[in-house]
Amino acid sequence: MFDPASLKYDANGLIPAIAQDHLTGEVLMMAWMNNESIQKTLETSRVTYWSRSRSSFWIKGETSGHIQKLIEMRVDCDRDCLLLLVDQAGPACHTNRRSCFYTALREGDEVIIMEPQNPSI
Amino acid sequence: MFDPASLKYDANGLIPAIAQDHLTGEVLMMAWMNNESIQKTLETSRVTYWSRSRSSFWIKGETSGHIQKLIEMRVDCDRDCLLLLVDQAGPACHTNRRSCFYTALREGDEVIIMEPQNPSI
């Protein structure tokens, strides 16, 4: 049986978690979890981060409706990073873009490569 | 012109960087960069992390030959995480697996889902 205590957390008790679309492979966002948010995520299949700015649990999509359903959780070799394969409803980013990684460096300049989705989608 | 100083670093001057295979979308690893390693990466197109354990630059593959060629660097909405699209030679993981994320939680247990590659590959 997997125990979240087997993971390596930073000095604040946090571990980075990368959310990836389980079908397309698109990397959607990176946020932080602690032992308890990992347990909540595994129990509910609703991805639950720890908000560092609000110091509280952050059930992804609880207010926006853009929930992340956990399909599979993976652990890296150092046990200090998680990869979450998710089913993402709508945009993952608070800017209404599908992914938080929406700027890219091209020929030395940072350019926007993704537009916000239509709110009705 | 992009300036790495426009990014948000943590208290140690570091920012997490996710390496993703630019062709398959596979997430290969997550490691850390600082301002100078980002500049080196952009100048050389050889992905260069900052090793927290050794407190030194870590040119990925310098000893193993498993280099990461940078195809594109992306920045997230909070400017506190990077996504690196890379051309990965051989395995990304020090265990000789293609990806560092080689265990998964399935039915409550953590199982190995990826075997080491043949060293000759």
Longest dimension (CA), chain B: 49
| Cβ–Cβ gap A27/B29 under 8 Å | no
A119 belongs to a structural domain: no
B84 min Cα distance to partner chain A (Å) = 10
B78 annotated binding-site participant: yes
- Report whether A61 contacts A67 (CB < 8 A): yes
A117 belongs to a structural domain: no
- Does the pLDDT of residue A36 top 90, yes or no? yes
Question: Closest to A101 (Cβ–Cβ): which among B30, B75, B108?
Answer: B75
Task: Compute the average pLDDT of residues A46-70.
Answer: 96
pLDDT, tens digit, 9 for 90 and up, residues A61-100: 999 999 999 999 999 999 999 999 999 999 999 999 999 9
B50 belongs to a structural domain: yes
Mutate to test the interface with B, among A23, A49, A80, A103 (most CBs of B within 10 A): A103
Residues of B with CB under 8 A from a CB of A: 1-2, 16, 18, 20, 24-27, 29-30, 42, 72-78, 81, 83, 93-95, 97, 100-106, 108-110, 113
pLDDT, tens digit, 9 for 90 and up, residues B33-43: 999 999 999 99
- Does the pLDDT of residue B101 top 60, yes or no? yes
B118 belongs to a structural domain: no
Q: What is the CATH number of the domain that holds A26?
A: 3.10.20.810
A37 belongs to a structural domain: yes
pLDDT band at B103 (very low <50, low <70, confident <90, very high): very high
B64 belongs to a structural domain: yes
User: What is the predicted pLDDT for the residue at A120?
Assistant: 54
Q: Which residue of B has its CA nearest to A2?
A: B109
ipTM comes to 0.96
- Report whether B114 contacts A6 (CB < 8 A): no
A51 min Cα distance to partner chain B (Å) = 13
B119 belongs to a structural domain: no
Mutate to test the interface with B, among A8, A83, A96, A107 (most CBs of B within 10 A): A83
User: What is the predicted pLDDT for the residue at B57?
Assistant: 98
pLDDT, tens digit, 9 for 90 and up, residues A7-33: 999 999 999 999 999 999 999 999 999
Specify binding-site residues of A. 76-78, 80, 93, 100
Q: Annotate B63-74 with DSSP letters as a single string.
A: TTS--EEEEEEE
A118 belongs to a structural domain: no
Tell me the CA distances in angstroms from B87 to A22, B28, B39, B70, B116, one per residue in order: 21, 11, 18, 7, 19
User: Number of folded domains in chain B?
Assistant: 1
What is the number of other CB atoms lying within 10 angstroms of the CB of residue A50?
Answer: 23
Print the domain residue range for B70.
4-112
